[in-house]
Amino acid sequence: MVWWQYSLLFLAVLAGGGLAQYGEQRFRAYLPVLLSFSGAYLLAIAALELIPEVFSEPGTSAGLWLLAGFFVQLLLEGFSQGVEHGHVHTHRGQGPGFAIQVMIGLGLHALLEGLPLGSAGDHLHQNHLLVGIALHKLPAAFALGLMLYGSGYSKRFVWGCMVIFGFLSPLGAVLGELLSIDPLWRIRILALVVGSFLHISTTILFEADGSHRHGISVKKFLVIIAGMAIAFITVH
């Protein structure tokens, strides 16, 4: 990875945090639309590029690792409170323990998803994965900021959490480079990340118009189509 790729991951988080602080009332209404776009892009990139890649090598047990990633993400959301797909559950009077719990869930996922970026692989695939991660980090950081501010934490504390969150995926990429991950384990880790992406993206799309409606609005349907179309165009 080069400097602009690390910067993109970090700045996506800072942008989400900035919107949560300075533009909550203006941009909160756009959170479901942004989530729908990022979820559609993630799902399309996974289906069109990442899943074929993880199943291209025999003997990797890719299917098992993909399922493991799905269920690991399911467990991590017990810590993160569903921030990855836009849930904002405020808890006033919880103290720093609640924020630390949320950061553990988000942080482990962020660190893990950075590992395939830093290991050897096709640069085009790496860039698509990079864009997918950045796209879902921005709304996740926005939701995290709304949750922390709504729970009564100070601006300094919230921005400290944002900086940590922003550094974790680049840190994972650096570890991937330094560890020189074996190609077999790179595929397994990528399958683990793809499994978590499938959980996040499908949850976002299932909840696209809220949990109390069956169906989807025309606007969000078009946003989902746009996300998938852009993924298709960039892959091909």
Q: What is the pLDDT of residues 141-188, one digit of tens each?
A: 998 999 999 888 999 999 999 999 999 999 998 988 887 677 888 888
**pLDDT confidence of residue 194:** 92
Angle subtended at Cα 5 by Cα 115 and Cα 190, rounded to the nearest 5 degrees: 25
**pLDDT confidence of residue 88:** 77
Which band of pLDDT confidence, cut at 50, 70 and 90, is reported for residue 4?
confident
Query: Would you state the structure tokens that stand for residue 14, as one six-digit string?
Result: 């800072």
* pLDDT over 90, % of the chain: 41
Cα–Cα distance for residue pair 219/161, rounded to 1 Å: 33
With tokens 């400097």, the residue in question is 3
Q: At residue 136, does pLDDT exceed 80?
A: yes
Ranges of H-type helices in the chain: 3-22, 24-27, 31-45, 51-54, 62-80, 96-118, 123-150, 155-179, 183-206, 218-235
What domain count does the chain have? 1
- Side chain identity, residue 188: R
Cα–Cα distance for residue pair 66/31, rounded to 1 Å: 28
**Pick from 106, 104, 111: which is nearest to 171 by CA?**
111
Most confident stretch, 12-21, 82-91, 117-126: 12-21
Q: At residue 108, does pLDDT exceed 90?
A: yes
The domain containing residue 51 runs over which residues?
Answer: 3-235
Per-residue pLDDT, averaged over 36-46, amounts to 92
Which residues touch 97 (CB under 8 Å, ≥6 apart)? none
